[in-house]
Structure 1
Amino acid sequence: MTRSLIVIFTAIVLDAVGIGLIFPILPSLLKDITHAANVLPTIGAMTALYALMQFIFAPVLGALSDRLGRRPVLLISLAGAAVNYLFLAFAPNLTLLFIGRAIAGLTSANISVATAYITDISPEEKRARRFGLFNAMFGLGFIIGPVLGGVLGDHWLRLPFIAAAVLNGANLLLAVFILPESRPGSRETIDLAALNPLKPLRSVLEVKSLLPIVILFFIFSATGEAYGTCWALWGSDAFHWNGLSIGLSLGAFGVCQTFAQALLPGPAVKLLGERAAILVGVAGVSVALTVMAFAGQGWMIFAIMPVFTLGGIGVPALQSLATRQVDENSQGQFQGVLASAVSLASIVAPLGFSSLYFLFREEWPGAIWLSVVAVYALAVPLVLGLRPKAAERASTSRRRGAPENSSGDASGETADLTFRHPRA
């Protein structure tokens, strides 16, 4: 693994750690600050604010990275994250805590830039594997974050934020000294209108070939929110799990997902192709969720985890396929749009799944997982309708020794429509 990838993957881990470390301590922290008995509405508002800031600024940072280069945007976001966690560590009131969480959402929007950086330095045949590692690093962060927050929070509620600040500061220094620029910035003047986060979304609506990709990212991200929203409550209701059992089940899920995303996407895409790999991932998750819905004993959840891991190949394959849909000069902007779709899902999905859970909770808590399967089902016709011509022709040309152009399309064409020229 190159030094550049080490820095990028470390940044992704720290982004996920920052998201996860606040979950175990947030209720206690809010009670300590507000002295209120019911802090659930505040938790919901803070979670939505974090996702909203990601939604707004992911395309902005992505577009800026196309203009200024990836490296300066990544360095600024890492520096902002370190300062933000210090801000959260010493915020004396709720208003400043909300401001700090908003800044955290802004700096974590650098995921779109990191994705574009990986695209810049990765040949097409390595992208699926590296995007698998990308998601594995994010999963690793989600395993570390809650544990770090819980352990350090027992000593002092603000200590997890100080630890996160130190880690981000160390990664910033690492990036300053060893992270090269992957793509020089454009000399064009920055169009301020292009920084409007809604503008790239409107562009996507004009390019019919891109819309299914964006919707698929939204669906996959929305289904992922169901676990964080409902898992703990469902485990308690269905199996009378205590906190330790819930933590072990989530930890087992995170570990299996991390290993699956690190090891399986590359071979799966090579063997099946990207579209089939996505469908296999959907099928594996759907089978596991169906078993969870009807499970009568807790051990069955741990037994089904290996099947659950098949879902780990779907998103990396989709990410690899998505990179072929736009030209190289628009990767940052397009990845920003995809990150916005993810953030939008993280705003909407928890509200929807929590409402559904309480609707079925008394009669059948496991029904929530069938609702997730139903959402996954919406993705199947979209995946079947994808036209990965560039990928398929490039693969065919490499086997036959046919010449390719720079986009990897053996036909001499770029992907269906470029993001820069939606009406071409």
Structure 2
Amino acid sequence: MSKPAGRAALTFIFVSIVLDIVAFGIVIPVLPKLVESFVNNDSATAARWVGLFGTTWALMQFLCAPILGALSDRYGRRPVLLISIAGLGLDYIFMALAPTLGWLFVGRIISGMTASGFATASAYIADVTEPENRAAAFGIVGAAWGFGFIVGPALGGVLGASDPRLPFWVAGGLALLNALYGLFILPESLPPERRAGFTWARANPIGALQFLRAHRELLPLAGTSFLYNLGHTVYPSVFVLWAGYVLQWGAKEVGFALAIVGVANVVVQGGVVRPLVRRLGARKALAIGATAGTIGFALYGLTDVAWLFWVAVVVYAPAGVFNPSLMGVMSARVGPSGQGRLQGATSSLMGIAGMIGPALFTLVFAWSISDGAALHLPGLAFLIAAALFALAGMLGLRATRETSY
């Protein structure tokens, strides 16, 4: 792909991810509230259900991301991306119509399957960028996530204040429009001569993880990715319930808070990753991200007033350089025909973390606010996440000792 075509493709991926994350972010402030409405507004019970929803969603990611990654290595990125985006849009409409908690649960299962296409978007990025530029390119993807989270949660909070189902309808419409946009705009990034054969032995989650085993230089980096993603699941798992319990915030306040967090993420990943990695290298950038994440999550865990929450947001913001730096290093150690499998494997790790994290953090949160808790500390889940970030940072620094960029 020529450089102008590559830039155009990156622009589409940025726009596509923004639209998908807007759709995804719209439902964040209202999904726990919708679950609460099915369980008589019992926060502890709702937390357990939200944990089950999150674990199941991640299980679908674990099972489906390697399949989609391997399919994209065989048939190209474009068809896999478009089918995933369209499926996600139809699923939001399904959840908007869900009459019971059981039907909503089915919707989350389908959502986990279709959202696995994000791994293909990362492989697309790797196709059209040089190894030394991939950390910056993945930073652009992170900025797209952040920008989507600026608009999505704020819009979801406003829409959900009047009707908790309305954000699902809007999310479905945005995702379907995105699929239609890609149908006419998105070029293929993986030419036929660079494609790999498809086998179920390689596409299943265990096969995907064996890909990491076959590339032993990736194993410690994969462990770093796992710890990072496990800690990061604390946010989607308990933030809405925690903010309602500790800060007494409703859907609108939570939506705007998440939007501000998204602004900080865009500033860091869109404007800081590239110059920081260029000036200091991926290893030092990773260390900065791990330190900020550790301290930021610790402050979240100790927060009991709004002003301290905003301090935590600022301190945590530089954590946004961690994952792009890590993904850049991992991607540079794999050849062109293996990028889809790499992204599928890392998505499987994310899925495993996502299966453990929601159950872990929601149960910790439910226990920490229960009447029989030995320690009444609603922010305990965030303190555990801080410890996981610290471990990820130490392992990442050890694994990148010989990295020259």
TM-score, structure 2 as length reference: 0.85
Q: Tell me whether 1:130 sits opposite 2:149 in the alignment.
A: no
- CA-CA distance at 1:275 after TM superposition: 1.0
Aligned residue type for 2:181: L
Within 1, Cα distance between the matches of 2:94 and 2:64? 20
Within 2, Cα distance between the matches of 1:136 and 1:82? 22
| C-alpha distance 94-3 of structure 1, shift in aligned 2 (>3 A) | same
Structure 2: gaps spanning 5 or more residues: 1-5, 370-374
Aligned partner of 1:258 in structure 2 is: 266
- CA-CA distance at 1:150 after TM superposition: 3.2
Aligned partner of 1:334 in structure 2 is: 342
- Structure 1 residues 12-51: aligned runs within 5 Å: 12-27=17-32, 29-30=34-35, 40=46, 41-51=48-58
| Paired residues of 1:7 and 1:171 also in contact (CA < 8 A) | no
- CA-CA distance at 1:25 after TM superposition: 3.1
SS at 1:110 equivalent: helix
| Paired residues of 2:291 and 2:393 also in contact (CA < 8 A) | no
Pick aligned residue for 1:222 from 221, 226, 230: 230
Deviations 1:355-391, CA, capped at 9 Å, x for gaps: 44455554444454432222122123322222475x6
Aligned residue type for 1:11: S
Q: Tell me whether 1:63 sits opposite 2:67 in the alignment.
A: no
SS at 1:182 equivalent: coil
Aligned partner of 1:400 in structure 2 is: none
Greater displacement, 14-23 / 46-55: 14-23
Within 2, Cα distance between the matches of 1:170 and 1:245? 28
- CA-CA distance at 1:338 after TM superposition: 0.5
How many positions carry a matched residue from both structures?
Answer: 390
- CA-CA distance at 1:310 after TM superposition: 1.4
| Paired residues of 1:133 and 1:261 also in contact (CA < 8 A) | yes
Aligned partner of 1:385 in structure 2 is: 398
Pick aligned residue for 1:309 from 293, 302, 317: 317
| Paired residues of 1:223 and 1:349 also in contact (CA < 8 A) | yes
Pick aligned residue for 1:183 from 183, 190, 194: 190
Aligned partner of 1:408 in structure 2 is: none
Aligned partner of 1:422 in structure 2 is: none
- CA-CA distance at 1:312 after TM superposition: 1.2
The higher-RCO structure (CA 8 Å, 6+ apart) is 2
Within 1, Cα distance between the matches of 2:162 and 2:29? 13
Q: Tell me whether 1:81 sits opposite 2:88 in the alignment.
A: yes
Pick aligned residue for 1:9 from 5, 14, 29: 14
- Structure 1 residues 355-394: aligned runs within 5 Å: 355-357=363-365, 362-387=375-400, 392=404
| Paired residues of 2:68 and 2:116 also in contact (CA < 8 A) | yes
- CA-CA distance at 1:143 after TM superposition: 3.3
TM-score, structure 1 as length reference: 0.82
Structure 1: gaps spanning 5 or more residues: 396-424
| Paired residues of 2:19 and 2:174 also in contact (CA < 8 A) | yes
- CA-CA distance at 1:197 after TM superposition: 1.8
| Paired residues of 1:295 and 1:301 also in contact (CA < 8 A) | yes
| Paired residues of 2:76 and 2:195 also in contact (CA < 8 A) | no
Q: Tell me whether 1:194 sits opposite 2:211 in the alignment.
A: no
Aligned partner of 1:275 in structure 2 is: 283
| C-alpha distance 234-87 of structure 1, shift in aligned 2 (>3 A) | closer
Q: Sequence identity, in percent?
A: 35
- CA-CA distance at 1:131 after TM superposition: 0.9
Q: Tell me whether 1:106 sits opposite 2:113 in the alignment.
A: yes
Within 2, Cα distance between the matches of 1:234 and 1:98? 22
Aligned residue type for 1:66: D
Within 2, Cα distance between the matches of 1:189 and 1:383? 32
Backbone CA RMSD of aligned residues:
2.9
Aligned partner of 1:399 in structure 2 is: none
| Paired residues of 2:286 and 2:393 also in contact (CA < 8 A) | no
SS at 2:217 equivalent: coil
Pick aligned residue for 1:287 from 283, 295, 298: 295
